[in-house]
Amino acid sequence: MDNKKEKKNYVIIAILLLVVGISIGYAALSATLNITGNTTIGKSSWDVHFENLQVTTGSVEATTEAAVDGQKTNINYTVTLEKPGDFYEFTVDVKNGGTIPAKIATTPTLAGLSTDQKVYTNYTATYSDGTPVQANDALASGAKKTLKVRVEYNKNVAADQLPTEPQNVELTFAMNFIQG
């Protein structure tokens, strides 16, 4: 019987050694990988707006003077151009007061004149130096660009091209700025 008891003890010891061996083998074949990091996200702001609007000397007197609205994103005005050569013009700064660079997303739209009205009305919106405003024009954080907007009764229009009745025209110029 001692033999059986000894064999039983050897089997128990063998099983314990096997369990310990498997545990050590598993531990030897496992690994833990860790990645730790710290990040600080800075304060950012988006603020592209109009400021510093100035009507050009020689412009006709406006019914409603050009003015920047309270949100600084729209300009409205109402003028009457009585005769060829009359014009209304103003300059205004487009300012990037935010921390994010901006750019014009698509070609700006200049609209409001019919084909007939384009014969006797000139409507332009350019940078103050006369260069056109275009898609992808950049406006860095803190930078500004000055626009010049002008509507003019064409002084070189032929008599037969003059309008025969008053014309009400709603002119628009739009620039869509995105993160640049």
Q: Quick check: is 62 in a domain?
A: yes
pTM of the model: 0.77
Residue 18 lies inside a defined structural domain of this protein: no
pLDDT at position 102 is: 97
Q: How many CB atoms lie within 10 A of CB 7?
A: 10
Structural domains in the chain (count)? 1
Residue 72 forms part of a structural domain: yes
CB under 8 Å to 125, separation ≥6 — which residues?
108, 110, 133, 147, 148, 149, 150, 173
Question: Quick one: how far is CA 8 from the chain centroid?
Answer: 82
Per-residue confidence (pLDDT) for residue 123, from 0 to 100: 95
Answer whether residue 1 shows pLDDT above 60: no
Domain that holds residue 131: 48-179
Say which CATH number the domain at 88 has.
Answer: 2.60.40
8 in a structural domain: no
Q: What angle do CA 22, 28, 32 make, to 5 degrees?
A: 125
In this prediction, residues 103-128 reach a mean pLDDT of 94
Count the Cβ atoms, other than its own, within 10 Å of residue 52.
12
What is the Cα gyration radius of the chain?
A: 38
SS3 of residue 148 by DSSP: strand
Average pLDDT along the chain: 90
Confidence of residue 21 (pLDDT cuts 50, 70, 90): low
